Amino acid sequence: MFLYLLPENLNEMTELGIFLSKKSIKKAEVARRTGISTSRLSELTLNPTTKLRADELYLIALAIDLNPCELLEAVCGHITLKR
């Protein structure tokens, strides 16, 4: 069974969820490659209060053949320093 992120739910997703959805990446495949559970991936992609750990980001990037810095920019690029 594969879990897909549906584009109509983009407003309910985290930055990670939006990124994976736009790239048509299956959470089940990421879970299989990384060892991160599908329930944890669902939390990371749907719940904005869930914190993505650095090791999880790194594993996800490796699993989807992406430079971890690119994924970090996609997921955290909106964060700025306080003035």
Q: What is the pLDDT along the chain (83 residues), one digit of tens a residue?
A: 455 544 455 568 999 999 999 999 999 999 999 999 999 999 999 999 999 999 999 999 999 999 999 999 999 999 999 98
pTM of the model: 0.83
**41, 32 Cβ separation under 8 angstroms:** no
In CATH, which of 3.60.20.10, 3.10.20.30, 1.10.260.40, 3.40.50.150 is domain 10-76? 1.10.260.40
**64, 31 Cβ separation under 8 angstroms:** no
In whole angstroms, what is the distance from residue 43 CA to residue 34 CA? 15
Retrieve residue 46's tokens: 């749907």
**6, 46 Cβ separation under 8 angstroms:** no
Nearest Cα neighbor of 33 from 65, 74, 4 is 65
Residue 11 has what pLDDT? 64
